[in-house]
């Protein structure tokens, strides 16, 4: 049994940013930059050793239950359901665990799965669904309790290009456009980031290098593309660290 | 939120988790049939073993009303509750880690202890069905005595046993949370209980110092109470010492195990190892 201080490494340092209601923020950075750690802290899955983070005014370490009431969380993995249960059985279970009554659950499932294109598939076992549909189901689960903030960790990681484009369109039109949900997502796919995000937070080795609009980032780096921007910012950070 | 709606919310969550496990189990249709026949073979094995070892001397050392077959069948069938109690919390945690649902469960409005408690319901209910099938085969084919049993008393002993065993199970899950593999809590409790708990022989055959040790394991009280209720036809009042022993274990183990589990959960949330195998 080792002390916690020996088991932890500083994954994030000196990060500070705010996201306004209805905004879409992308978190980008290389592997190990701290994107998933940041999302896990904000979704109460990790407890920060130092510093403070709030979601909708609630502290993630002091009032995690209140934070969880406000958030939805979906990861890009496709093995996050009970595969031998039907899509509906999965949604009913998670709705119940989010304190939604049985009548309200039935209403919300009907309401949310229609636009997600899942209506016909609800009574099929999850193991028989395609990866794209499992992702939609994951998003439906994250949205079922009408969260104010939606956290997505590499949401299109295991989707083919067409399904990914379809999924992004859905996020923009329905989740953000229709429901006005605030969205914070981590992604490696720069086209996805450009298409979805209002602002982009760039992380490198646990530090926040910049947090601005795409145009603002490009201007600050003196670059033409997002890819070039990231290269310049991270190179500059490495030089400063040395 | 007031207490009554909170309790009904929690009961609904427990029911939903039970229903989840029932639905998953139902999707493996052959399992129940296999289990029924496995119980038949187990029951038959104990019957023929008892015919081999039965002697007037052995019968004199067993509690009144019991032959060796019924003594061993109750011992084996109810000892399995301890195994389930110890493994069910570990298993549900491990399953959630493996199928990737753990993080999704943890961001709901339900705390991990409630999720684990709900996930332990189906294994206990399934264990009860399995025990009933064991005893049913024993009664139908091999003369296990059912007449005169105090079923209410047996039910009370069982309820108190499940609470005490769950305390040990939560301790075991706490170990798994922090150390991930190779659970010595589980191993030590099961090993010790199988030697001194009176599963296959009365504890009176043990050396005196082991008899003292037997008094420190909850399964001893559980098996004594079960045998007294089912085989010895003891009244509920006569079962009170066994029930009180088990309740005392539960009263100590449950708060202690919840406190240790909360500490382990917080530690893994800080170290970021909650979902690690």
- pLDDT band with cut points at 50, 70 and 90 for residue A93: very high
The pLDDT of residue B183 is 75
- pLDDT band with cut points at 50, 70 and 90 for residue A7: low
The pLDDT of residue A1 is 59
Name which of A44, A47, A93 is nearest B107 (Cβ-Cβ).
A44
* Residues on chain A touching B106 (C-beta within 8 angstroms): 44-45
- Please answer whether residues B157 and B226 qualify as being in contact, where contact means their C-beta atoms are separated by less than 8 angstroms: yes
Q: What is the mean pLDDT of residues A164-185?
A: 86
Q: Where are the domains of chain B?
A: 3-271
Q: How far away is chain B from the Cα of A107, in angstroms, using its nearest Cα? A: 18
The pLDDT of residue A3 is 61
> Percentage of chain B surpassing pLDDT 90?
34
Q: How far away is chain A from the Cα of B115, in angstroms, using its nearest Cα? A: 9
Within a 10 A sphere around the Cβ of B208, how many other Cβ atoms? 7
- Please answer whether residues B97 and A79 qualify as being in contact, where contact means their C-beta atoms are separated by less than 8 angstroms: no
| Residue A107 in this model has a pLDDT that exceeds 90 | yes
* Residues on chain B touching A102 (C-beta within 8 angstroms): 12
Distance in Å from the first CA to the final CA of chain A: 35
The pLDDT of residue A103 is 92
Q: What is the mean pLDDT of residues A168-197?
A: 89
- pLDDT band with cut points at 50, 70 and 90 for residue A78: low
Within a 10 A sphere around the Cβ of B26, how many other Cβ atoms? 11
Return the ∠ at Cα B74 (arms to B70 and B80), rounded to 5°.
150
Closest of A157, A179, A81 to residue A122, by C-alpha: A81
Residue of B nearest to A46 (CA): B269
Q: Does A239 touch chain B (CB under 8 A)?
A: no
Q: What is residue B133's three-state secondary structure?
A: helix
| Residue B244 in this model has a pLDDT that exceeds 70 | yes
Within a 10 A sphere around the Cβ of A129, how many other Cβ atoms? 20
User: CA–CA separation, B232 vs B225, rounded Å?
Assistant: 9
- Please answer whether residues A91 and A109 qualify as being in contact, where contact means their C-beta atoms are separated by less than 8 angstroms: yes
Q: Please give the backbone phi and psi of residue A208, each rounded to the nearest 5 degrees, phi first.
A: -90, 110
The pLDDT of residue A165 is 86
* Residues on chain B touching A72 (C-beta within 8 angstroms): 107
CB-based burial label for A180 (10 Å; 0-12, 13-18, 19+): exposed
Name which of B12, B20, B111 is nearest A82 (Cβ-Cβ).
B20
User: CA–CA separation, B273 vs A7, rounded Å?
Assistant: 10
Q: What is the mean pLDDT of residues B142-165?
A: 91
Higher-pLDDT residue of A37, B54? A37
Arithmetic mean of pLDDT over chain A: 88
Residue B12 to residue A96, Cβ atoms within 8 A: yes
The pLDDT of residue A241 is 72
Residue A79 to residue B99, Cβ atoms within 8 A: yes
pLDDT tens, A26-44?
999 988 888 989 999 999 9
Within a 10 A sphere around the Cβ of B85, how many other Cβ atoms? 28
pLDDT tens, A118-165?
888 999 999 999 888 888 898 889 989 889 999 998 888 877 888 788
Q: What is the mean pLDDT of residues B210-220?
A: 93
Give me the domains of chain A, ranges plus CATH numbers: 8-76+149-241 (3.40.50.300)
Within a 10 A sphere around the Cβ of A202, how many other Cβ atoms? 23
* Residues on chain B touching A99 (C-beta within 8 angstroms): 9, 109
Residue B115 to residue A99, Cβ atoms within 8 A: no
> Percentage of chain A surpassing pLDDT 70?
95
The pLDDT of residue A20 is 93
Higher-pLDDT residue of B137, B275? B137
> Which residue in the block uniquely carries the two structure tokens 């028989």?
A128
What region does B148 belong to: left with phi over 0, alpha with psi -120 to 50, or beta? left
Arithmetic mean of pLDDT over chain B: 87
Residue of B nearest to A152 (CA): B104
User: CA–CA separation, B120 vs B113, rounded Å?
Assistant: 11
Chain A 24-53, residues with CB within 8 Å of chain B CB atoms: 37, 40, 43-47, 49
The pLDDT of residue B3 is 66
Name which of B101, B271, B274 is nearest A7 (Cβ-Cβ).
B271
* Residue from A97, A134, A149, A184 to probe the interface with B (highest B Cβ count within 10 Å): A97
User: CA–CA separation, A207 vs A16, rounded Å?
Assistant: 10
Residue B270 to residue A85, Cβ atoms within 8 A: no
Closest of A9, A52, A35, A13 to residue A237, by C-alpha: A13
Higher-pLDDT residue of B177, A182? A182
């Amino acid at each position: 049994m080792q002390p916690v201080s020996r088991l932890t490494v500083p994954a994030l340092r000196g990060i500070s940013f705010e996201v306004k209601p209805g905004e879409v923020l992308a978190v980008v950075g290389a592997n190990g930059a701290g994107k998933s750690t940041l999302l896990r802290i904000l979704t109460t899955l990790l407890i920060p050793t130092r510093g403070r983070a709030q979601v909708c005014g609630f502290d993630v370490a002091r009032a995690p239950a209140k934070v969880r009431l406000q958030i939805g969380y979906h990861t890009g993995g496709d093995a996050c359901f009970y595969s031998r249960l039907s899509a509906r059985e999965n949604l009913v279970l998670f709705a119940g665990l989010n304190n939604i009554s049985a009548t309200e659950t039935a209403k919300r499932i009907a309401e949310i799965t229609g636009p997600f294109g899942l209506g016909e598939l609800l009574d099929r076992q999850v193991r028989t669904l395609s990866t794209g549909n499992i992702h939609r189901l994951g998003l439906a689960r994250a949205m079922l309790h009408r969260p104010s903030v939606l956290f997505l960790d590499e949401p299109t990681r295991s989707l083919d290009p067409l399904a990914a484009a379809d999924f992004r369109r859905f996020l923009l039109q329905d989740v953000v456009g229709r429901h006005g949900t605030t969205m914070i997502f981590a992604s490696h796919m720069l086209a996805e980031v450009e298409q979805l995000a209002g602002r982009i937070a760039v992380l490198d080795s646990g530090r926040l290098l910049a947090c601005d609009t795409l145009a603002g980032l490009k201007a600050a780096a003196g670059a033409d593309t997002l890819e070039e921007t990231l290269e310049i910012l991270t190179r500059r950070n490495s030089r400063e660290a040395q | 939120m007031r207490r009554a709606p909170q309790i009904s919310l929690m009961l609904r969550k427990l029911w939903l988790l039970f229903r989840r496990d029932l639905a998953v189990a139902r999707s493996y249709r052959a399992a129940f049939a296999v289990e029924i026949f496995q119980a038949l073979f187990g029951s038959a094995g104990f019957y023929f073993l008892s015919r081999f070892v039965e002697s007037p001397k052995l019968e004199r050392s067993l509690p009144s009303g019991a032959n060796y077959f019924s003594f061993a069948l109750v011992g084996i069938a109810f000892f399995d509750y301890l195994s389930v109690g110890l493994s069910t919390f570990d298993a549900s945690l491990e399953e959630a880690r493996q199928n990737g649902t753990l993080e999704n469960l943890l961001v709901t409005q339900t705390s991990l202890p409630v999720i684990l408690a709900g996930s332990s319901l189906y294994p206990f209910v399934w264990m009860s069905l399995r025990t009933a099938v064991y005893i049913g085969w024993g009664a139908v084919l091999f003369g296990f005595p059912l007449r005169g049993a105090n079923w209410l008393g047996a039910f009370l002993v069982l309820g108190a046993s499940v609470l005490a065993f769950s305390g040990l199970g939560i301790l075991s899950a706490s170990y798994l949370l922090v150390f991930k593999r190779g659970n010595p809590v589980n191993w030590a409790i099961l090993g010790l209980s199988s030697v001194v708990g009176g599963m296959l022989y009365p504890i009176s055959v043990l050396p005196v110092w082991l008899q003292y040790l037997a008094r420190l394991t909850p399964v001893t009280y559980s098996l004594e109470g079960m045998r007294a209720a089912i085989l010895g036809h003891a009244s509920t009042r006569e079962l009170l010492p066994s029930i009180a022993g088990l309740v005392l274990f539960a009263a100590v183990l449950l708060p202690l195990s919840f406190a240790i589990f909360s500490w382990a959960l917080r530690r893994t949330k800080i170290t970021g190892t909650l979902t690690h195998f």
